[in-house]
Structure 1
Amino acid sequence: METKVCCVTGHRDIPTDRAVYVEQALRREVLAAIEDGYTRFISGFAEGTDLMFAAIVAEQKEYSPNLYLEAALPYAGRIKTKSKQFHDLLRICDEVTVVCQEYTPSCFMRRNRYMAVKSQRVIAVYDGRDRGGTLYTMRYAHTLEKEVRVIEV
């Protein structure tokens, strides 16, 4: 049986008054993915949506040890962040993939493409912006005929 993979894309700057809603909606989507047989989850480990998603998957790993969490880092230097949450969640990951060894202007886009290609389902936290990484990733996932589930912010 093929492993079902789900990734997330979304904004870093979730408005404070929408954070609880986004977290609840992400939790529902992760639980629905687990119910649908998804066992592998990929997060890009950016602030905001990505870390919120990783925290929810990490929490679910306590109940379902068969779940697998992968961090997809855009470039090696990202590991130098001072964020405690980032490092705490990174320790829980089953795998860390570094997409580009050095920072380049396209490394985030390459990371997003990597996640979309690997996944059958993409969960997107999207606020309607007419450009940016989240919109690009959603469009790219559609061209790959991936399932895209949108949480509107």
Structure 2
Amino acid sequence: MKNLKLYIAIMAIVPWFSLIFLDKKTFRKFLPGTLFMAIYLIFEGRLAEKRKWWWFPFKIKPNVLGELPLIWGPFFIGSFWILKYTYRKFNLYLLVNILVDSLFTYYVLDIFKKFGYVTLVRLTKFQLSIVFLFKTFVLYGFQLFYDKVVRGVSD
């Protein structure tokens, strides 16, 4: 697509504007979890690249993951919002994540493929859903661990 770089930049930048509606306390509380998840996603992206789970023909620069705009845009900011409204309500957290991840996997991924941004190679959409589900547990588990061990909060 002709304007792919512009669309990718918009996708990465626009979610950041929503942070003005997030209070500082919530931002500080969930920043460790969202940062952990972003770093986790970078390592996962490297693994996925080697195992050819998916392919990003779009390159920011050589040796830079094509999914960085997704990681530091909607995934990073989305983690704040999902945690803000669902943390300590695990069933709701799980439901929201399954809905958001399914929307991405079964709808948005097809749009990205049409644009030439990403395509699945060795993973089916169902397998990608399982990968997302695993990450759902990792993020929640890390946030619980951080709250109990580092912050000393056990509410």
TM above 0.5 = no
Q: Which has the higher contact order (CA 8 A, sep 6+)?
A: 2
TM-score by length of 1: 0.31
Greater helix content? 2
TM-score by length of 2: 0.31
